[in-house]
Amino acid sequence: MTPLSPAIAPSAVPLDLGGRTALVTGAAGGIGRACALRLAAAGAKVRAVDRDAAGLELLAEEAPGIEPRVLDLTDLDAAEAAAAGTDVLVNNAGIQLVRPVEEFPPDVFHTVLTLMVEAPFRLIRGALPHMYGQNWGRIVNVSSVHGLRASAYKSAYVTAKHGLEGLSKTVALEGAAHGVTSNCVNPSYVRTPLVERQIADQATAHDIPEEQVLTQVMLRDSALKRLIEPEEVAEAVAHLCSPQASFMTGTSMILDGGWTAH
């Protein structure tokens, strides 16, 4: 196992989002859940979007100001409509499948790109009119170290994250004149159910025992030999919504434990 992660202060970044409306996708668990709680703690009204109705209800019980919205983001028209009136948009929802290219199901490849590239595009498209109208908006795209580097057996995920990086930069250039910033956060492997569900597939793909996946695959290229916690990613998201980050746009905030230092 990896060393214990440091305790994460719930409000390490001074942030007041009172009167703001945030929308967080993939909010029922993992990074999305941590982001929803962090933004709610900063005073935002949070629209928590996910397909997992039960997970959303549990989330809503944890903090006032969280409004659960059950939504399948592959319904692109519904996704765009849901983003209307949003001040802070956190594109986080994602899925993963580990397979060699020649064995990767084309329908799953299509679904990954729909959920992780086209849905963020439609959500941004739905949010921008309101943001432009008030000359203020914050868009944070939860990318990955795989938006900057590739790994074998992750063709759809790596393709989607690279696409999200390009979308984020384009929106940054267009939104700057309207007070809108657009940035990515790029964590390496995060301690989430999405990562835990990869272990068996990674073991099969790399032909190693499951207990070796963490050290030989997930942490192999990281200088810091631990998983990053969802709350650490949420603090980076919060920072990008803060006044201290008002000059940051079109960037990729790397949280990879030294992976890309190689």
Residues in the chain: 262
The runs of H, that is alpha helices, within the chain are 30-41, 53-62, 76-82, 106-113, 119-134, 155-175, 193-196, 199-206, 213, 230-240
Report the distance separating Cα 177 and Cα 200, nearest Å. Answer: 47
The question of whether 189 is a catalytic residue gets the answer no
Q: Give the active site residue among 132, 153, 157, 189.
A: 157
Report the distance separating Cα 3 and Cα 90, nearest Å. Answer: 29
What DSSP element (H or E) covers 253? strand 252-255
DSSP string, 159-173: HHHHHHHHHHHHHHH
How many angstroms separate the Cα of 173 from the Cα of each of 66, 69, 166, 238, 248?
Answer: 31, 30, 11, 21, 12
Active site residues: 157
